[in-house]
Amino acid sequence: MKLDRRTVLMQGAAAFALTLPGTQALAATRRNRIVTPILRRKIVTRPNIHSLALNDADLQAYRDAVKAMKALPASDARNWTKQAEIHNNFCPHRNWFFLPWHRAYLVAFERICRQLSGKHDFALPYWDWTANPQLPAAFADPNFNGQPNPLFDGNRSSQTVSIAAVWAGQSVISQIDNEPTFEAFASTKPASSGGAQPWRNPATEGLLESSPHDHVHTSISGDMGTFMSPLDPIFWLHHCNIDRIWDRWNRNGHANTTDTSWLDMTFTNHFVNAQGNPYTTKVSNNLNIGLLGYRYPPQFRIPPWYLALAVNFSKIPPVEKINPGALRIREPVAAAVRLNTEQIQRFDRLRSIKIAPRPTGAPPTGAAPVAPAAPVTRATSRVIAFIRDVPPPAKGNADVRVFVNMPNANAETPATDPHYAGGFTFFGTGQHGGHDHGTHSYMIDLTPALIALKEQPTDKIDLKLVAVPIAGVSSEGFEVKPGSIEIAIF
Ligand code: C2O
């Protein structure tokens, strides 16, 4: 059998099989694949950055690694800018390769950090922007211990930026945690599998990508607003949290797609191993984080009955007052969409979506305290708006909020309004990604808003799209102009 150097380095489990001959080696390899990762390789727990003191050993190892990577010559593939170029050149966004590609990218990066910091059990921290929306202190200060802080990035919109609850708050995350459909959770399958970079063909962003993922990027802005975003050391902690939410979704019993065009997609030489050599991996080798050598602290999902209560009583989180300031956001567009058979037919592939029946009655005993039990609205169907082919702002960036059946919504209508259904922003429209001047497509689940409004879905739903500025980011002259809006009832 042949094991190439890359396989051995990146999947250390099989390493000692090389010294054994013939069938014995094969058997050992097989055994090792199952047993070794558990017995021989320590599985590290990726920590919450907010649980770490400023002088914590993992945090210091991260500073050391970033500093070392910034000091490496550009001829070394582990060089800091080279690492960001991997993202710019290969990252899939707005399709279902988004999650596995970024998982593999983080695993490779974490191993480089171990190598360069010398801390061999280093685990990449995650930033839980739902529980702690403010940029972690360790990243915000230009200096640490009287030295330049390697985790600081002076290009951010501000060093005290806080991620708004409307994009990443608990009710948004609960809705994502409880999303039953892989493609609505994880972004959709590209229509085409051809082209030079088939893993990058555009599709429609799912809820995890369009809400918290994109908005953390664009709220921080600067490097984070572009495909060179890994230049900002917070990038890696942001994606660690996205990865954690995916793992939690799986652990809570939600299955990934079994489509072989997803499982077999191979990212050939996209990544770099700890020694600076190319590393190839495929989607199906990135679905079990224990085998990749890490885990997250135990995670719990907000149960569906709580979500149903939340939809009724507190779906819309408090959000800071919107201040359109002096920025010029033009009159928003309104779209009245009438469903017809043809539009519904177009969603055949997704029509198997069924909303999980929501249990009624009292919460289980011993559960976290919630609002008093009350009649729960049972959703019999889902209503999802597909907002397609939206051209991003020519310069700067903006958020877009989507209101249901509220024709007079405007930039000052708060997201706490019950007519608010969700929103999106434009990540990766940056100066760097030469290939990426295309339009963006999103899906917004209108169901919770329709339930909260006690409005039954009918054959006519009005959507109003309102552009609002992002604090500290220009959005000069931006108008929202989707190519089309389609509404599907499942
Ligand atoms: Cu490929 Cu959040 O970036």
What pTM was estimated for this model as a whole? 0.78
Please report the beta strands in 398-483, taking only residues with DSSP state E, as ranges in sequence order: 399-404, 420-425, 440-445, 460-468
Of ligand 1's listed atoms, the one at least distance from the Cα of 242 is 2
pLDDT at 161: 97
CA of 37 to the centre of ligand 1 (A): 28
Structure tokens at 356: 């999980």
- The enclosing H or E element of 90 equals helix 80-90
pLDDT at res. 332? 33
Helix (H) / strand (E) containing 388 = strand 383-390
pLDDT for 220 equals 97
Distance of CA 91 from the midpoint of ligand 1 (Å): 7
Helical H segments across 160-303, by residue range: 165-168, 170-177, 182-186, 207-208, 214-220, 234-251, 260-263
Which residue's alpha carbon is at the smallest distance from atom 1 of ligand 1? Answer: 91
- The answer, yes or no, to whether any atom of ligand 1 lies below 6 A from the CB of 239, is yes
Beta strands 44-45; 294-295: pairing state: parallel
Dmax over Cα atoms in the chain, in whole Å?
Answer: 75
**What is the model's pLDDT at position 452?**
77
CATH code 1.10.274.10 for 23-295: no
Whether 220 is in the pocket of ligand 1, judged by its Cβ within 6 Å, is no
What pLDDT does residue 453 have? 78
Is 215 touching ligand 1 by the criterion CB < 6 Å?
A: no
Verify whether ligand 1 is closer than 6 Å to residue 200 (CB atom): no
- The pLDDT value recorded for residue 109 is 98
Q: 460 C-alpha to center of ligand 1: Å? A: 36
Contacting residues for 391 by C-beta, under 8 A, at least 6 apart:
439, 481
Q: Are 316 and 415 in contact (CB under 8 A)?
A: yes
Distance 448 CA to ligand 1 centre (A): 27
Q: If you compute the radius of gyration of the chain from its CA atoms, what whole number of angstroms results?
A: 23
Q: Cβ(217) to ligand 1 under 6 A?
A: yes
Rounded to whole angstroms, how far apart are CA atoms 185 and 204? Answer: 11
Residue closest to 388 by CA, chosen among 267, 481, 279: 481
pLDDT at 437: 57
Q: How far is CA 235 from CA 144, 205, 241, 283, in A?
A: 19, 19, 10, 21
pLDDT given for residue 301 in this prediction: 58
pLDDT by residue for the chain (490 residues), tens only, comes to 343 433 333 333 333 333 333 444 444 445 555 544 445 568 999 999 999 999 999 999 999 999 999 999 999 999 999 999 999 999 999 999 999 999 999 999 999 999 999 999 999 999 999 999 999 999 999 999 999 999 999 999 999 999 999 999 998 999 999 888 898 899 998 888 999 999 999 888 999 999 999 999 999 999 999 999 999 999 999 999 999 999 999 999 899 999 999 999 999 999 999 999 999 999 999 999 999 999 999 886 555 555 444 433 333 222 222 222 211 222 233 343 444 333 333 333 333 333 333 333 444 444 444 343 333 333 345 677 888 888 898 888 999 999 988 888 999 999 999 999 999 999 987 544 444 558 898 989 888 887 777 765 455 677 889 999 898 888 777 888 888 777 766 5
Quick one: which of 229, 252, 282 has its CA closest to 93?
A: 229
Q: In the chain, where are the structural domains located?
A: 23-295, 315-489
The whole-number pLDDT of residue 376 equals 34
Among the residues of 141-213, which ranges form H helices? 165-168, 170-177, 182-186, 207-208
Residue 349 Cα to ligand 1 middle (Å): 27
Beta-carbon contacts of 38 under 8 Å, excluding residues fewer than 6 positions away, are 290
Burial class (CB in 10 A: 0-12, 13-18, 19+), 344: middle
Our answer on whether the CB atom of 270 is closer than 6 Å to any ligand 1 atom is no
Q: Is 103 in the pocket of ligand 1 (CB under 6 A)?
A: no
